[in-house]
Structure 1
Amino acid sequence: MVLTEQELNLSNAVTVSQAGLRAIEAGSREIDLSSLQNVDSSAVAVMLSWQRHAQAQQRALSFTGVPASLQSLIALYGLQDFFHMVPISSAERH
């Protein structure tokens, strides 16, 4: 699944979360977050929801294109080991 939103925050977290859950249900094993430019802690909560949903279905889930600001929040909460984040080079960014 390629996330097309540029923001993931409290105002759109429910909608984005639901779209991701549907994608996981449909078999998606990777979520590309490279379009995100602005995030708050809601983004971490959405990622946790997706990860738990995938785990409940015994599926691996990877995140690509995780912006530095979101990586910082993940580190702040000590969740680096909970997510499988695939690094991308700056040349691969949109």
Structure 2
Amino acid sequence: MLTLPTTLTQVQAQDCLRQLTVGVHSEPAAQVVVDAADLRSFDSSALAVLLALRRECARAGKRFAVQGLPQRLRDLASLYGIEGLLPSA
């Protein structure tokens, strides 16, 4: 399982994505679950990171799911029309 940090804004997005991408390829399971339960401070960059991880999982032949997505981030995903791209674990 991969874990998002407590803060994920534009400032942290690139480094966070780099670290999590390594994690995608290290996960032995056919499904990569991203735990977002600790996420407290974020902007739309958090969605960009999750979508990039989804694409990386697809390239690696793995399924992608998210658990613990904060309600505000779910609302933002819904506003952008991408909630279906972030399946719950």
Normalising by structure 2, report the TM-score: 0.88
User: What is the number of equivalent residue pairs in this alignment?
Assistant: 85
1:8-48 Cα shifts (integer Å, max 9, x gaps): 10010011111110110112611101000111110110001
Tell me the CA shift for residue 58 of structure 1: 1.6
Aligned with 1:62: secondary structure?
strand
Aligned with 2:62: secondary structure?
coil
CA RMSD in angstroms, aligned pairs only:
1.2
How high is the sequence identity, in percent, across the aligned residues? 24
Greater share of residues in strand? 2
| Residue matched to 1:42 | 45
Structure 2: gaps (5+ residues): none
Q: Please give the residue correspondences for 1:10-89 in structure 2 after superposition, counting only pairs within 5 Å.
A: 10-27=10-27, 29-86=32-89
Separation (CA, whole Å) in 1 of partners of 2:33 and 2:59:
16
Q: Is the 8 A contact 1:39 1:69 kept in 2?
A: no
Structure 1: gaps (5+ residues): 87-94
Greater share of residues in helix? 2
Tell me the CA shift for residue 2 of structure 1: 2.3
Tell me the CA shift for residue 76 of structure 1: 1.0
Normalising by structure 1, report the TM-score: 0.84
